[in-house]
Amino acid sequence: MDTKVGACSARAGLGKTSEEQNPLGTHTLAGNPKTVHWGYFSPALKPVLTINSGDIVHIDSPHGDPAVYEAAGIPSDAIPQSIRDIHREVKDKGPGVHILVGPVFVNGAEPGDTLEVQILDTRITAPFGYNFNKFGLGALPEDFPYTSIRVLKLDLERMTSEIIPGVVIPLRPFWGIIGVAPPTAVGKISSSPPGVHGGNLDLKDLVAGTTLYLPVHQKGALFSAGDFHAAQGDGEVDQTALEAEGAGTFRLIVHENKRLKWPRAETPTHYICFGLNEDLNFAAKMAIREMLEFLRETKGISSEYGYMLASLAVDFRVTQLVDGVKGIHAMVPKNIFR
């Protein structure tokens, strides 16, 4: 994927950025008790880092529960101290369960702008992760009326995990949660459901080399990331992915006066629009309408022809079924456009 601002912006139809007014810089943000918020997004959160549009941010994302790892036989010295410190010291938790690093204040970002989040790198930082189904949750709570936790070994050389004897899956790390502060009227919200702020999208296609576009609702955008995943299937049906300790690198770019209704994404091969709703059928309709709007804005294609294109060439996939607000993502291949 071409990560030059002009090329990426032109493809997404975003136009002018504020990058040219600011010098570029690189920052590191390690997850620790002073740089995380646990289980929520809020417009009232104080930023832990301030950057300029176009700057690069390296984020180290602690994930998991030390007690669970130790009970599964993970040596104590292999468990990152940062996650121990966070579990011991952070008291402001919930209503969600995710440990998020941030927020990052991006100079120049204002409500009505769009924040372009280029995902430059993702890296698993510990040779173990976990998956669980929790009582009362998941896509089949009636079939699995209990909680079961599984700690899994990760082969970081081969980038695989033998999740069941004789069953080996590839590791393809990505961030389950990438988001900004929600609108003021919404206030403090759980980290669990995705929404207009992005958040817990759980889109497995957002690997290194892809881009997420988020509507800005607060001054500075207040960007956060977390919920690192080593692997996941579309649907995430038992409630969790292969949750893992991870790190990654983002480039954050402000597009001035370009309003998006909902998040959008881009991979080297596809444009992606989202549908998010408690009702999966409504989420599907939303994803179709968002795709038709994208095609009209960026390609000049009328709704009628866009509807035809969506039926003939766009894939509509179930992102996740288990976060309260369900997700559908629409993927249109780039190579059909001349």
| Domain count within the chain | 2
DSSP 102-152: EEEEEET--TT-EEEEEEEEEEEEEEEEEEEE-TT-SS-TTT--S-EEEEE
pTM over 0.85? The answer is yes
Backbone angles phi, psi at 122, to 5 degrees: -135, 145
pLDDT of residue 195: 97
The residue-averaged pLDDT of 205-219 equals 98
Among the ranges given (40-49, 67-76, 151-160), the one the predictor scored with the smallest mean pLDDT = 67-76
Where among 241, 266, 291 does a domain terminate? 266
pLDDT of residue 102: 97
pLDDT of residue 164: 97
**pLDDT band at 4; cut points 50, 70, 90:** very low
pLDDT of residue 9: 39
DSSP 193-242: S-BTTEES---TT--TTEEEEEE--STT--EEEEEEEEE--TB-TTS--E
| pLDDT tens per residue, range 265-294 | 999 999 999 999 999 999 999 999 999 999
Residue whose tokens read 């999208």:
201
β-pairing verdict for 242-255 and 270-277: unpaired
Does one domain contain both 209 and 247? yes
Please count the other Cβ atoms lying within 10 Å of the Cβ belonging to residue 226. Answer: 26
| Token digits of residue 75 | 């040596």
**pLDDT band at 10; cut points 50, 70, 90:** very low
**Cα(20)–Cα(67) distance, integer angstroms:** 47
The residue-averaged pLDDT of 298-321 equals 98
Does one domain contain both 262 and 274? no
H/E stretch holding 315 reads strand 315-320
Does one domain contain both 120 and 228? yes
**pLDDT band at 14; cut points 50, 70, 90:** low
- Distance from chain centroid for Cα 318: 15
Domain range spanning residue 153?
5-266
pLDDT > 70: percent of the chain: 93
Look at residue 185 and give its three-state secondary structure. coil
Does one domain contain both 244 and 331? no
| pLDDT tens per residue, range 161-211 | 999 999 999 999 999 999 999 999 999 999 999 999 999 999 999 999 999
Does one domain contain both 254 and 325? no
pLDDT of residue 96: 95
Does one domain contain both 222 and 77? yes
